[in-house]
Structure 1
């Protein structure tokens, strides 16, 4: 089934939307991806609505085009059918229980050596772990293998597991991690499928589920997930934004809290303390990095005032360079905030923000272009091209420089909230006491985390992973960033222990 013009248009729009919303999409273990000439069924996690297929299509290695499943009822309208087919979407006939008819269009695509991307969880969700896997992916792969077997061909389509992980999936300028697992061959399940299709499909689904668990972050409950995320930010303060090794570090912290917390009351208390710290930060609209600056001294009127003044001066110096882009894109930011604020389902927020932004962007840029053409270049023929080039540079500069400015803006807001509570003392509730309590709680959490790692790294495999990552990172800091003495100081405790 060939792809058409609409597919390229949709992918181009998706690439622009993802580029403007996320700060980075990190690909891991790309070497596991089968050759582009081989038919393959890509099974991906589904935690962020239409953002998931957009991320897959935009970032899949070697720009290989991907087909997706859709209900065959969506093809009843001839215009919709033409558009969907042109985009490479294949219909699935859910009215039949005959696998050969159910996935007939899928098999046509695979016979052409192409790739089909599916989501075994079925529905997008916000859970601390993977959702319930359905057997459709396994039935499609095994039925196609059966057809190949009957036709005397051996070009079975393996299942490629893919974990799409969003540390903060609805947050503007957050990060996406796409991790590829090893392809799962369906041939070992074929003989059983020829005798008992349902049992074979169940076994293959279980194998796929276990494989995808290794590519993602899974916790038994939200408390364990919150505690692990908070612990990671505290232990690796300078790596929190980069999300390097996010999946293994976070997962091993979760597993450590679960395994050790069952028998160790101190670690169970630490987990609850980290959750309390995270929730209190959220309630006060503060970040751990803002409290961390005061971890070794009291939060006083002088210290909070100086921190606010320092950040304000730096922001004012930078403002002239950033102000034009900020004013021009302000409708987008306001609309994005409202789209996220009034949506109760987290897995829909990013989608709504992006869709609303896509609707506003043409209006904003057309107005900006017309204004620039007439106000700056007098509406001349050559001015048309100058205005077009100016607009392109304007948009590129704003998007590529937004990350640092956005972080500085959030930090400035945090400094103001600290100043407002500690110096001005405003508010109906005792925010100053709560902030001072946060500082003490963070200091105690850091102490307990370090004790847990030092005490259990030789007896618990999950703590051993964290220990090794910390030591390696500390050594890298000393070797490659020796001038960052303030950062190196935070890792002295791990370097002193052999």
Structure 2
């Protein structure tokens, strides 16, 4: 089933949308991806339509991917033409005959093309993987059976091969947050040969075993916790142990999963670790309720949260923002409708897995209008509506959009930090708030110091006896060695080095 121009258009739109929403999309272990042959890409599904967009945009060697869709979507002739042009494959869910169910899929695989599926079935927001369905496994095994029984050459004159299953974990540290990151991790390919004997005798048993192996592989590529309490505690521990690193940290998945495993294992044996886990959860909950981030409290590690220190920090941040504002203000004003629409798109959506999708859809709907108005204004107001001015205005708009997107990250973080400073100032200096927020913030600072101290104690105490804690210690030491190798430090690196002094 060849791909048409519709596929290229959708991928380019997806690329632009993802580039403008996420600050970075990282790929890991791309050497695991087969460069040729029929391929079934089995991926996690935590972020609605964002998941296929991320896969299609980042898949190695720009190899196009087919996707499954209900055959009812193909009933209208125009819809059918567009979906087929984009490479979407119909699946007849009304039949229990695998050959009919996946007929279009087999045609794709016979052409040595790749199809991406989501074994969890539906998108979700859980602290772990959802329940895997057997559809992916049945498709792979039934196709292998058909190839064995009917090895006739495909349209290119080549003997068809059995399809390989490629596990993929798509990890979102903060999946609905603007300018967050995405991590795409490729697992080792799974061949179906070892399941075929069982499939001949008991198809359901073989499919269940393959599904289990796919799930095991994807679990190793992602972050999984038994509940949100453990997941949130581990995320908070990561923030405290690795200050300044958020979704951009190179070993996010491995470190976060190691913290989850360590807290579960040690929490069963050690009351101190169990208490630490609960304390980390409380700390995160209080931060959320006060509208603050750990970085706001961390600024006051070595001094009290006083009226003077709070005011100085606020003024420092405000002045820095005002100095930078003239450079950023034109882009901010032009894109303000996008930010407002994105804010409300996320604010009134109860399902987190839908928020990023809605924000991007609103952006795609408004972008053409905003950029058209900006272009016409530049063409007529700045360049007199001339023929030459048309091209200059077009180039100016392109540079304007590029500059805004590439420069938004640091300013967006600074803006969120400034909001936090104002909240601290409001609570500590102005003393407003019916819940005595000043006392809560002072207590929060104390709780943070206790959590940091206890976390470091846990890592140091169990680094030689618990493999997951040892992995966290190794990650900390890697930062220490990098800082030591930097020689004389200054600025942010010097401040960061102070946070790792406990491990020097």
Task: Tell me the TM-score range normalised by the shorter chain.
Answer: over 0.9
Deviation, 1:333, is: 0.4
Q: How does 1:359-398 map to 2 (within 5 A)?
A: 359-398=365-404
What SS does the aligned partner of 2:26 have? strand
CA RMSD of aligned residues (A): 1.0
Contact preservation (8 Å) 2:112, 2:160: no
Length-normalised TM-score, structure 1: 0.98
1:172 aligns with 2:184: no
Q: Distance in 1 between matches of 2:244 and 2:354?
A: 30
The separation in 1 between residues aligned to 2:487 and 2:228, in whole angstroms, is 36
Matches within 5 A, 1:52-451: 52-152=51-151, 155-451=161-457
Offset of 1:38 from its aligned partner?
1.3
Deviation at 1:481, TM superposition (A): 6.3
For the residues of structure 2 that align with 1:480 and 1:19, how far apart are their CA atoms? Answer: 32
Residue correspondences, number: 494
The answer to whether the Cα contact below 8 Å between 2:166 and 2:188 also exists between their aligned partners in 1 is yes
Cα deviation for residue 241 of structure 1 reads 4.5
Residues 406-442 of structure 1 show CA distances to partners (whole Å, capped at 9, x for unaligned) of 0010111111111111111112221110110110000
Match of 1:486 in 2: 495
> C-alpha displacement at 1:244, in angstroms?
1.5
Report how far residue 297 of structure 1 moved.
Answer: 1.5
Match of 1:3 in 2: 3
Give deviations 1:58-84, integer Å, cap 9, x for gaps.
000111000000111111111110000
Q: Does the 8 Å CA contact 2:173/2:247 hold for their aligned counterparts?
A: no
1:49 is matched with: 48
Q: Which runs of 5 or more residues in structure 1 are unaligned?
A: none
* Contact 2:110/2:160 (8 A) holds in 1: no
Residue 485 of structure 1 deviates from its aligned partner by 2.4
**Larger CA deviation: 51-60 vs 427-436:** 427-436
Question: What is the TM-score of this pair, normalised by structure 2?
Answer: 0.97
CA distance in 2, matches of 1:259, 1:393: 52
Alpha-carbon distance in structure 2 between the residues aligned to 1:415 and 1:303: 11
Secondary structure at 2:174 match in 1: coil
Counterpart of 2:156?
none
C-alpha contact (below 8 Å) 2:22/2:181 kept by paired residues: yes
CA distance in 2, matches of 1:482, 1:192: 63
Gaps of 5+ in 2: 152-158
